[in-house]
A and B are shown apart, each in its own frame.
Chain A
């Protein structure tokens, strides 16, 4: 190979620039870990600064120096398109806001360790991997890196029994889900001969007869590729992969872990889990399932007679329809009866996953501009959800008085009278979560439900999508009750006694940033939406 050939080879397959944000975050994590191990002394606040610098550099690289084009690198393992860029930004922003929120909170819960920062950074690495991963193996590694970091973060309060319980529950159920996911990936590989999503599409929709799916011919005594068997393996694999993702996004009926895990974990971790893990899981879900559906379409177009795989799209639609409806409804109804704000937000995060699933189900059934609109709506919603939910958790952290005190709804009584700004910020977040204009939450819901309504105009799917939109809107109305309940306490109930609410600079900054973005996205959604749509368009292969 001549020198220029080597350079070309390196450029094509080892283009480090495409994964620069990931490398920066990982390197920062390593640095933080070394500092934590070598530096004596108790305060770890400076580690927050180090981590934030790393995340900031990565954020700048992502925003201004991202390859952007439809470019895959490392032998097609990663794909750094606008879609990846969008979710990388969400991951980095979620990590930064979490670290800001934690800076003053960690000493309060006696967990001020450098490991916390390193684990948050490594979890962000996992999320970035899920955003850029173009191969099921990379996605799986990303999911595991993120999840294992999360299991540990949940249990970082070694003293608190609830934190231990949260960690263990999450670990056991999460490992179970990961096993299903991996099994599903193996089945898909067995049926198609590749784990690469791009290769899946480029294969032209052909199932490969490798990896042992051969059947014994009783008459001739030979082994032959079993076409139908491969289809069933593919379908089974898709089902298992969906199951794994459904667990990660906390969709019903795989949501059972959510309330206990969310309540037991340190609050800043809970916020990170609710927005970061969910967004990353949706990123991977959308990329994988759009690839799978496209593969199914190509396969169907090749077929000259009925094949079981042809029904995949409709079956998926039915399953996701049911899951979305159940997720929205159960999440909202359970949130209604909670008296602990943290637990209420946990249930409400289930409901929000349901809203996002509405968009996903639309995206899976439609094609062209309609699909772009649906995917873009989901992306936009996840961005909005990150700011509003992390903001709400920020206020919960601010109200925390060590242990679990200050999380109860009546702890918010009369907050507006002695901390009007905090109460105002909380009001913005609650309005946004409930979907009341002019906040980000309203715009996000509007785009998702309008995508569902426009999908309802497609011949034969009116019942599916109109009903989905109607159920979604009804659920939003239910949610208004429990989101406004804390506001009632804050503004219309007088305080029995004033709680000490400390306005620490970093925490306040985090809440301020969240408030600004919730309002900004709510008032001027155009710029954000166009970036989301750009990302959605980039998902197409070829």
Chain B
């Protein structure tokens, strides 16, 4: 149960862990190159995400968002989700950012229109909730050390019906599989194998979703009706 009591040991653990880290020193921790890059990109991502929200000009917000996207792509690559990393750069840092910039220019907000009119209470509530979430996250990691392993561990139970749900089998394989196997996990080939077999149905449905988006673009950007001179070709709903 996520109750208040969970927080008390969690806070204690936070303090303990911090003291621990100071005592042992960073050098004694098993800190590989992968960890270093993860933390590097994580810090970059969080910092630039923070800047997105706090930057004064919408344009600089958008540019910081690009940085966030790149850092995210790097983290995906570190998690050996190679295909996803490339897509992240292509679609998000590329196409979607262009759209964001267009929208910013389309709106052309003046500075005085951007002045916040938020009640301080909302900010305070947001702060408290944010802190609570952070503590909860850390707690869930740290607490787990204290609890005896009370449940059958995840790897030695019977595998679920693998023929029916190959995705699970795949995942389970990965726990035991060699590092090389794990590294192949996110390659385009692997993605392809899953996408066109188990995930065929969602894949086809995605085309409907894209179609709805296409209709939406045309409908929403449709010009307001105006009187046309007589004799003009009637093209009432033309978006042009």
Contact = CB atoms under 8 A, between A and B. Distances in A.
B208 A122 contact: yes
Given A75-B166, A227-B144, A227-B149, A148 B171 contact: no
A159 B172 contact: no
Contact of A145 (B30, B149, B205): B205
A156 B161 contact: no
Contacts of B143: 228-229, 232
A215 B143 CA distance: 11
Interface stretch (B53-61, B65-73, B116-124, B196-204): B196-204
A19 to B, nearest CB: 8
Interface string B57-89: 000000000000000000000010000000000
A118 to B, nearest CB: 6
B182 to A, nearest CB: 10
B129 interface: no
25 contacts: A26-B208, A33-B215, A75-B197, A76-B165, A113-B237, A115-B218, A115-B219, A122-B215, A135-B202, A141-B206, A159-B224, A193-B168, A194-B171, A199-B160, A209-B153, A209-B175, A215-B141, A215-B144, A218-B20, A225-B154, A228-B143, A228-B144, A236-B136, A304-B151, A314-B1
Contacts of A221: 29-30
A264 to B, nearest CB: 14
B155 interface: yes
B215 A152 contact: yes
A533 to B, nearest CB: 27
Nearest to B161: A202
Contact of A233 (B140, B161, B164, B212): B140
Contacts of B150: 227, 303-307
A81 to B, nearest CB: 16
Interface in A210-259: 210-212, 215-218, 221, 225-229, 231-233, 235-236
A392 interface: no
B155 A209 contact: yes
A129 interface: yes
Nearest to A40: B234
A221 B223 CA distance: 63
Contact of A115 (B166, B167, B215): B215
A494 interface: no
Interface string A190-214: 0001101011001110111111100
B2 interface: yes
Interface string B127-155: 00000000010011101110111111111
A229 B200 contact: no
Contacts of A77: 198-202
Interface string A307-320: 11001001100000
A149 interface: yes
A308 B2 CA distance: 8
A75 B236 CA distance: 46
A138 interface: yes
A144 interface: yes
B219 A156 contact: yes
A42 B236 CA distance: 8
A232 B212 contact: no
Interface string B1-44: 11000100000000000001000100001100000000000000
Contact of B154 (A208, A216, A232): A208
A122 B214 CA distance: 12
Contacts of B218: 115
A406 interface: no
A152 B220 CA distance: 7
Given A75-B166, A129-B205, A159 B225 contact: yes
B216 interface: yes
Contact of B139 (A29, A232, A304): A232
Given A75-B165, A149-B212, A199-B161, 14 more contacts: A19-B201, A75-B198, A141-B205, A142-B205, A144-B209, A145-B205, A145-B208, A155-B220, A193-B171, A202-B161, A204-B160, A227-B150, A229-B141, A311-B1
